Amino acid sequence: MAIAKTSVEQWAVLAAVVDSGGFAQAAEALNRSQSAVSYAVARLQESLGVPLLVIEGRKSVLTPHGRTLLARARALIKDLDTLEQLARSLQQGWEPELTLVVDAAFPRTRLLGIVAELQHSCPSTQIQLADVVLSGAEDAITAGAADLVVTSRIPPGYLGDWLLDVTFVAAARPDHGLFQLERELTTDDLVRHVQAVVRDSGTAHPRDEGWLGAARRFTVSSMEASLATLLAGLAYAWLPEHLLADALRSGELRRLPLATGGTRNVSLHMVLVRPASVGPAARAAVEAFHRHALT
């Protein structure tokens, strides 16, 4: 393996000279002597055999080759800084990676707020986020495939904290055939029409929760796809009220006038998969979920 002729430190000194406008200013910014700064840049140019700076008036400016090379070097400087930040975080006990598996019923705006908060509070921790449906959350817990899971069911042998209840609402487009009955609807009415059902993302013990047994159903892979199916007039479905809010408000969708069961609540809980070895990033995630669940 070839040994590099230059160092990241030399490139950082050159960047400081360019960014601060000169050798004296760079020396002050770096808390070094001006001769040390000049020597670092001179050695860099000597090692490369390419002029990087030229003097124009009283200012040192990059040559065309210097601009090209420094642009690439800045990425290396940033990567090294990120690496050192990660080392400091690991020294302090921060996890290098945090895996969150969240039931798709959890409000998306709150989830994005939590992720944004975690990116700020633990920037050196890589966050892996996955949406799951029904038993997919349970699979992630029992398989140990996540650090923190938001689930509608807690598997035996695990403990969880209640976060919030999500209200599911039965809805369809106003021109759907069910509204033409002009009366309260029963299960017998519903099973004669196509129901949109979100496919269970779990594999160990998949569930058909919410499906009424209609002969025809439209199976989709996400709640957003189910919503699109409703807006297209292809089916009816139960979906989280927060996901339907805009369409209900605008009149694009209507609540189905069911005699009973038009709404149902699903409780979401947060489970720490390995509570005995919780790191600071996981604790920050727990606090963020609790805080955003209350808003």
Q: Is the pTM of this model over 0.85?
A: no
Fold of 98-162+268-293: D-Maltodextrin-Binding Protein; domain 2 (3.40.190)
Report the percentage of the chain scoring pLDDT > 90. 49
- The string over 248-280, giving b where at least 16 C-beta atoms fall within 10 Å of a residue's C-beta and e elsewhere, is eeeeebbebebeeebeeebebbbbbbeeeebbb
What was the pLDDT predicted at 53?
A: 87
Enumerate the domain spans of the chain. Answer: 8-91, 98-162+268-293, 164-267
Using alpha carbons, select from 223, 248, 221, 252 the residue that is nearest to residue 237: 223
* CA max distance for the chain: 89
**Across the strands, what pairs with 196?**
218
pLDDT tens, position by position, 143-191: 889 999 999 999 998 999 999 999 999 999 999 999 999 899 998 898 8
Q: In whole angstroms, how far apart are CA 126 and each of 70, 122, 179, 278?
A: 28, 9, 48, 16
Q: For residue 247, give every residue at least 6 positions away whose Cβ sits within 8 Å of its Cβ, in sequence order, or none.
A: 171, 227, 230, 231, 253
* Least confident residue range of 20-29, 82-91, 112-121, 203-212: 203-212
Any idea which residue has 């099973």 for tokens? Answer: 191
What was the pLDDT predicted at 21?
A: 84
pLDDT > 80? residue 140: yes
**Packing angle of the helix pair 108-121, 280-293 (nearest 10 deg):** 150
Tell me the Ramachandran region of residue 144: left when phi exceeds 0, alpha when psi lies from -120 to 50, beta otherwise.
left
Phi and psi, residue 34, nearest 5°? -65, -35
pLDDT > 60? residue 210: no
Q: For residue 168, give every residue at least 6 positions away whose Cβ sits within 8 Å of its Cβ, in sequence order, or none.
A: 105, 210, 238, 239, 240, 241, 263, 264, 265, 266
pLDDT > 80? residue 28: yes
The CATH class that applies to domain 8-91 reads: mainly alpha
What is the number of other CB atoms lying within 10 angstroms of the CB of residue 26? 25
The CATH class that applies to domain 164-267 reads: alpha beta
Task: Outline where DSSP puts E strands in the chain.
Answer: 53-56, 59-62, 97-103, 126-132, 148-151, 161-172, 195-198, 217-220, 237-240, 254-255, 263-272
Q: Report residue 85's pLDDT band, with 50, 70 and 90 as the boundaries.
A: low
d(C-alpha 291, C-alpha 121), whole Å: 14
| Dihedral angle sign, alpha carbons of residues 257, 178, 248, 135 | positive
164-267 shares the fold of 98-162+268-293: yes
pLDDT > 80? residue 216: no
Mean pLDDT confidence for 221-227: 93
pLDDT tens, position by position, 97-109: 999 999 999 999 9
Mean pLDDT confidence for 52-58: 81
d(C-alpha 267, C-alpha 223), whole Å: 17
